Chain A
């Protein structure tokens, strides 16, 4: 009795805090958040770290106990960082929770019964918005914060915690809060302008994905329909799609990708965390700004929302139309792209089937949206004028790319607006290295090793001043590339990239195809300049580099079937560079196209900070270089000694008399007469991309005997032989090999 009375008295006096009141009715949201956080931060972490611990057993058998302990600590730190830090997948849970919390918190707006309940109470709309908003934040931040602390404890339990890891986890918590902030606010905005929860969820998805969808589709359309579109480098638009203006998720993911690049060496230091944060900062700031903008929009929409706006569709009718059309535009274009991909008709005239499919998809989409907005299947035909607008705008969007209405493939900037020109050949012959700046961020695997991105380096290093020549080459190259893409004939020309540094600081880049019969003098105006040679042949980088402490240097001269190593000292290298620099002054397009290299110089070095390998071609008129090498006892002619040839492997194509059929063969000979016949005409297969216009076959030569630059008395070399020097018997052998194709 006493307890019952006291209970009653307590109940009478107790006025519960509004947030506590609200949380009482959001228990399942709290439970959901807690489950998500614990599932990732505790259960997931225990599983992952246990697995890593298990895998580490026996990993360092050769080491002492002390070394093993040190290695294990470093190993676990890296994995704890990986699980809780910038590589964490916790963001997926955060996005999900932000959407759920935003939808649930403001779901009362979508039901008249709850609107009657809440809106008749003495609380202003602004205060109610704030109350619900902050309540969501309190639930998320408290539970996620607690889970993060638990995660730190789990990480420490596995011995993977240090200041750097702790810092990274703390920063990641802040970044996840920013992500939550953005997604939560977008969801609330979608909720406040929707008339039911399903539509609000769809709208949230559209807001989150719209910009990425548009930009990625535009990217795909450009790649598909613009043969001159430049996409092969870290400086291309695709790679630089880093800043997103409506999607906090895209910004978060972009930031993570940059952080992962910085951290790829698994270096767990505060400095690395700082560098990663610096790289991610723009993305995070953008995500924050997006969040603020959507918060303001959500607040205004909430306060102005008519209470009777419950049911189907969006609060304002015009919004439905705009949303429908905005989604329809890329949908139609995507349909067109898929149709072209399925039937491989990218460069053919648009087909009636393609047009029909685009219209069909758009009409069906508009019907479905009307059914959703009106809550009735019978309403599918409403607002047909919007279908017409959607079809018209979608076709316009698609045809801009499909038919190049904006003239992308023809565009060359005005001479007065260009500062200088960059011309990059398509050979990928050289690799480049760079020490200053955010090395790791710029570097990437380019097929040869970890050097800087080739195009990125050349874009930065090359500044050709003959703008008129650049414009002429661009025009010729653009036209040739488009012609090649729209033709069924065999591909002709040199693929290259031309870039224009504009005076306003922007960059115009196009992939071009330079015709094989291009005017050499025109090309020489760009290629035969010091600006070109200095950028392409990165000699400056080598100077002094080899004196670096701990640098293990190798300089080799290769002449095809043998090679020599130069002395490992800076003076020798400097002498070689000086000689080569003199010869380089004679290099131009004509030489690269028409002359064969007789050897190559390799610089390879391993140092405590850097590794690099660089290659330099030697032509027969590079007399300074040849003399210098000769003086060091490191020169040998590249001519093939026919008497030592024991096997020839001839691979190539010959044309039939009809001009359409081509025969190809891969033939082996051990005929010394044949070797003697073709040896004088063999040249090293080290020619530049621009020399590919030569009609030649490749010849693999096996040489056995004693000769300089070879330790094993046997070697193989790759050469090429002009087709007109190919003996008739070999031509017949190729024709009789049974391999052929016909080019229409």
Chain B
């Protein structure tokens, strides 16, 4: 488990991360979202031991990460703009990482290069941005580290490769308990892969929740009430987060479980009633509005 306890980091007079605390469990995909400058990359760099927090501590299995090879041996960092040695080839980078990470799986590395159709002897300097990202992901996967930190990793990948990468993560999570930690400024990008999402804003964590928990506790329903009294009864029984109306059609986002909502609807006289699926975006809108933020201004603008 990764524990981030009251971590702060400033660059000069500008605070990048402010008193932030998070927990990241194993075997689940943790997604960090936030606008540019929210502190995602800074936090990720601190988690990888690249930056030293000004205050607080970041621990992996109870051990501080900064300048600690033992803790760092469990992590692999894929930055937004990965570095490769000048004039190097994929095979040379593989050999380098093999000398750095004791569990580096060269067989798998070569296999994945082949699968992703990356020429192992071609100079990386001739690769496209997407190919470089693919190579970085392959190197990270092949390092067999417990934690894979990906900074805006899906940026620049085409949909097919994005899906292939997600599949790779899923496979390794299942087979060896890989824990990917992803950052993105785009909530929609992480929706279908993350188990847990943390929302960063201005250096702090607005919220950090399990997506399933959020989905289970918030429901969306569209309904046409038989009369106004029925509407009034419904609103009294539900914790309404969002209410929209088009003519007589009402769309409610409410804080209730699916079963509870069904029970309430059973006692209400309606002309039409339908339960609708919630997007991660909608869940976030609902959650953040509760704590006084307009998420659309933060990450969806």
**A122 in the interface, Cβ–Cβ < 8 Å?**
yes
A21 pairs with B48, CB closer than 8 A: no
- Bitwise, B17-53 to A at CB < 8 A (1) or not (0) is 0000000000000000000000000000100111110
Q: Which residues of A contact B92 (CB under 8 A)?
A: 24
Q: Given A21-B99, A122-B100, 7 more contacts at CB 8 Å?
A: A11-B110, A12-B107, A16-B95, A16-B98, A25-B86, A116-B77, A306-B51
Within 8 A of A (CB), among B178-195: none
Within 8 A of A (CB), among B185-239: none
**B247 in the interface, Cβ–Cβ < 8 Å?**
no
In the complex the two chains form, what is the Cα distance from A122 to B45 in whole Å? 14
User: Which of A8, A11, A125 touches B67 (beta carbons < 8 Å)?
Assistant: A125
**A240 in the interface, Cβ–Cβ < 8 Å?**
no
Closest chain A CB from B6 CB (angstroms): 19
B77 pairs with A120, CB closer than 8 A: yes
User: Which of B51, B69, B86, B95 touches A21 (beta carbons < 8 Å)?
Assistant: B95
Residue of B whose beta carbon sits closest to that of A12: B106
**A117 in the interface, Cβ–Cβ < 8 Å?**
yes
**B64 in the interface, Cβ–Cβ < 8 Å?**
no
In the complex the two chains form, what is the Cα distance from A25 to B89 in whole Å? 12
Closest chain B CB from A6 CB (angstroms): 14
Question: By DSSP majority rule, is chain B's interface helix, strand, loop, or mixed?
Answer: mixed
A8 pairs with B77, CB closer than 8 A: no
Closest chain B CB from A18 CB (angstroms): 6
**B130 in the interface, Cβ–Cβ < 8 Å?**
no
In the complex the two chains form, what is the Cα distance from A11 to B111 in whole Å? 13
**A466 in the interface, Cβ–Cβ < 8 Å?**
no
Known: A15-B99, A21-B96, A25-B85. A122 touches B110 (CB 8 A): no
- Bitwise, A355-384 to B at CB < 8 A (1) or not (0) is 000000000000000000000000000000
Q: Which residues of B contact A14 (CB under 8 A)?
A: 95, 98
In the complex the two chains form, what is the Cα distance from A14 to B106 in whole Å? 9
**A124 in the interface, Cβ–Cβ < 8 Å?**
yes
Q: Which residues of B contact A404 (CB under 8 A)?
A: none
B95 pairs with A11, CB closer than 8 A: yes
B: number of interface residues (CB 8 Å): 35
Q: Which residues of B contact A12 (CB under 8 A)?
A: 106-107, 110
A11 pairs with B100, CB closer than 8 A: no
User: Which of B75, B81, B106, B107 touches A120 (beta carbons < 8 Å)?
Assistant: B75
Known: A11-B91, A119-B50. A113 touches B99 (CB 8 A): no
**B116 in the interface, Cβ–Cβ < 8 Å?**
no
Q: Which residues of B contact A121 (CB under 8 A)?
A: 72, 100
Q: Which residues of B contact A21 (CB under 8 A)?
A: 95-96, 99
**A205 in the interface, Cβ–Cβ < 8 Å?**
no
In the complex the two chains form, what is the Cα distance from A188 to B50 in whole Å? 20
User: Which of A11, A123, A307 touches B51 (beta carbons < 8 Å)?
Assistant: A307
A306 pairs with B52, CB closer than 8 A: yes
User: Which of A113, A123, A303 touches B83 (beta carbons < 8 Å)?
Assistant: A113
B81 pairs with A122, CB closer than 8 A: no
In the complex the two chains form, what is the Cα distance from A123 to B70 in whole Å? 8
B99 pairs with A17, CB closer than 8 A: yes
Within 8 A of B (CB), among A107-133: 113-117, 119-125, 127
Q: Could you jot down 30 A-B contacts, CB within 8 Å? A: A11-B91, A12-B110, A13-B106, A14-B95, A14-B98, A15-B95, A15-B98, A16-B95, A16-B96, A16-B98, A21-B99, A25-B85, A113-B79, A113-B81, A114-B83, A116-B50, A116-B83, A117-B79, A117-B83, A120-B49, A120-B76, A121-B72, A122-B69, A122-B70, A122-B72, A122-B73, A122-B100, A307-B50, A308-B11, A308-B51
A116 pairs with B67, CB closer than 8 A: no
**B15 in the interface, Cβ–Cβ < 8 Å?**
no
Residue of A whose beta carbon sits closest to that of B120: A11
Q: Which residues of B contact A8 (CB under 8 A)?
A: 110
In the complex the two chains form, what is the Cα distance from A308 to B77 in whole Å? 16
B52 pairs with A307, CB closer than 8 A: yes
B110 pairs with A123, CB closer than 8 A: no
Interface-centre pick from A25, A113, A121, A125 (highest chain B CB count, 10 A):
A121
Q: Which residues of B contact A119 (CB under 8 A)?
A: 48-50
Closest chain A CB from B277 CB (angstroms): 38
In the complex the two chains form, what is the Cα distance from A113 to B132 in whole Å? 14
Residue of A whose beta carbon sits closest to that of B47: A120
A120 pairs with B86, CB closer than 8 A: no
Residue of B whose beta carbon sits closest to that of A126: B67
In the complex the two chains form, what is the Cα distance from A387 to B96 in whole Å? 49
Interface-centre pick from B81, B92, B100 (highest chain A CB count, 10 A):
B100
Residue of A whose beta carbon sits closest to that of B75: A120
In the complex the two chains form, what is the Cα distance from A269 to B233 in whole Å? 113
In the complex the two chains form, what is the Cα distance from A120 to B66 in whole Å? 9
Known: A15-B99, A125-B67. A120 touches B48 (CB 8 A): yes
Closest chain B CB from A3 CB (angstroms): 15
Q: Which residues of A contact B99 (CB under 8 A)?
A: 15-18, 21
Q: Which residues of A contact B82 (CB under 8 A)?
A: 113, 117
- Bitwise, B82-117 to A at CB < 8 A (1) or not (0) is 110110100110011011110000110010000000
